[in-house]
Amino acid sequence: MLNVKNELLIGLRDALEALSPGAGAKAAFETPKVAAHGDLATTAAMQLAKPLKQNPRQLAETLCTTLRAVPAFQTWVDALEIAGPGFINIKLKPTAKQQVVRSVLDQTTRYGTQASNGRRMLVEFVSANPTGPLHVGHGRQAALGDAICNLFATQGWDVYREFYYNDAGVQIGTLATSTQLRAQGHKPGDACWPTDPDNALSKNFYNGDYIADIAADFLAKKTVKSDDREFTASGDAADLESVRQFAVAYLRREQDLDLQAFAVKFDNYYLESSLYTSGKVDAAVKRLIEAGKTYEQDGALWLKSTDYGDDKDRVMRKKDGSYTYFVPDVAYHITKWERGFQKVINIQGTDHHGTIARVRAGLQAAHVGIAQGFPDYVLHTMVRVVRGGEEVKISKRAGSYVTLRDLIEWTSKDAVRFFLLSRKPDTEYTFDVDLAVQKNNDNPVYYVQYAHARICSVLAAWGGDLATLAGVDLSALTSPQAQALMLLLAKYPDMLSAAAEGFAPHDVTFYLRELAACYHSYYDAERILVDDEPVKLARLALVAATAQVLRNGLAVLGVSAPQKM
């Protein structure tokens, strides 16, 4: 039906252009809020009425008369009706809606996708320092980042996934000291274990059981290998540098295991420390100074970030000579631009909101040709986990939070992904473990997957060659339920485009739930494996197309489409 819609859009554009030169640019269709009003709608007459100094309803009547003479409208449109002050509702013929079945069966996994646009984009997500297992918040970020990557891939982008972390900061030093104490036979609560609540280092000591596991493997002189590093322990508990290197490699491997369980794969791991060792931070600061966008005050170096919309200027280099945390971020994003990524998206927690203005200010002030608004940000809230009606806050393994792997083991990868993507990123979300394991219609991922499995069962009972369905006669698909299902299938490409543009994978979950409900309604209304062969084949083609779109949408979310449940 996409071709049908395009033909009608061209017809509408030409009709508007005939009414007023330049008006063709306003050609667009909307979906009526009430399905009974029509399949498509346009507000073009209302938009043109004022510049043309005409009554919008009368202009709508003129436009309808013109459209009824357009060949595409004669072929595909059943009725044009004017409503309210000048809305034009369009009711399509059954044959128009039936075209979507053929399109889906012809294009299969490509249905809804766009051709390559030749442009590269980078999505940075998870980016957790290797100081412990990934928590549920990281899981939400992993689900968001991967789904957004998949969404933009459907729109023709060449998408690159990047994980950014630091292996040499204060947190890493605390990790190394915590592990060293464990290796020396100490544990939380011992006299030597820091407990001073006024000491920042003490408060951040790592007390989870995983630290003891790292220490034991370090003493055993084990070798650990992650996607981006490998290290063999010296076994000497007095060798703090060896402890640090081993702990980082160990926890990077643990992160890899978490991500593998979640089916997330990165193209690159970028070290924050490399920005310093390579001189990129100093080079970025030099650019800002030479551009006249900095000044010295009270022994510190400041960025004139208010020149770019920030609420106040920001310190770049402190009195002690160290840089504030947003400076390496500026250097890092300059490298993203220099690596040829025209579009960059950062998936981060809402606690990073304050860095957006200063990072963008630094990028504009550096005068390296970066467009305003670069990079894009998707900020997400944390996730509460409820099990047995009570909130779960502690994992024995992590010590103070529920890990991503805990959640996957309690439920499944599919449930975690679908649930974490089912709300807007900045919306508070409570993950109900008990709901996620239920096998009924209250569980949204089960509901969608069951629709797919139900169709596969029907197709298996038929036992024919699916390839033959692409060419069958579809004229029997005229019932209200069949037409509603076909109309929803036709909305899939536009839904994908809008979801990508809005960084909104939750739109995909909403669509899939609606499609599953529409299929279940159709299944309840019409028997598919009837004796009438042409009718049976038409209905099989429709449900096969529905299964394909369910698979395509679930793939965008990184969720499987089981054939049996």
CA distances from 507 to 354, 415, 557 (A): 27, 17, 11
pLDDT at position 204: 61
- For 401, which DSSP code? S
CA distance 409 to 198: 37
First to last CA, the chain: 31
pTM of the entire predicted model: 0.91
Query: Which parts of 413-546 are beta strand (E)?
Result: 429-432
Asked if the 125-277+381-437 domain carries CATH number 3.40.50.12780, the reply is no
Helix (H) / strand (E) element for 462: namely helix 444-462
Instruction: Give the tens place of pLDDT for each residue, 139-169.
Output: 999 999 999 999 999 999 999 999 999 998 8
**Range(s) within the chain of domains with CATH label 3.30.1360.70:** 2-92
Asked if the 278-380 domain carries CATH number 3.40.50.150, the reply is no
CA distance 402 to 383: 10
Tally the C-alpha atoms within 13 A of residue 174's C-alpha that lie toward its C-beta.
18
Answer left, alpha or beta for residue 389, where phi above 0 means left and psi between -120 and 50 means alpha. left
Indicate the CATH number for domain 441-557.
1.10.730.10
- Please give the distance of CA 508 from its chain centroid, rounded to a whole number: 10
CA distance 565 to 563: 7
CA distance 422 to 557: 10
Instruction: Give the tens place of pLDDT for each residue, 301-350.
Output: 999 999 998 889 999 999 999 999 899 999 999 999 999 999 999 999 99
pLDDT at position 19: 87
Name the CATH topology of 2-92.
Answer: Gyrase A; domain 2 (3.30.1360)
Report, as ranges of residue numbers, the positions in the chain whose pLDDT lies below 50.
Answer: 200-202
CA distances from 163 to 128, 225, 251, 278 (A): 8, 17, 14, 18
CA distance 263 to 413: 8
**Range(s) within the chain of domains with CATH label 1.10.730.10:** 441-557
**Vertex 97, ends 93 and 102: CA angle to 5°?**
135
Q: Let me know: does 139 contact 407? Beta carbons within 8 Å.
A: yes
**Range(s) within the chain of domains with CATH label 3.40.50.620:** 125-277+381-437, 278-380
489: its two tokens: 């299938």
pLDDT at position 202: 43
pLDDT at position 195: 59
pLDDT at position 219: 98
Q: Let me know: does 142 contact 126? Beta carbons within 8 Å.
A: yes
Q: Let me know: does 425 contact 502? Beta carbons within 8 Å.
A: no
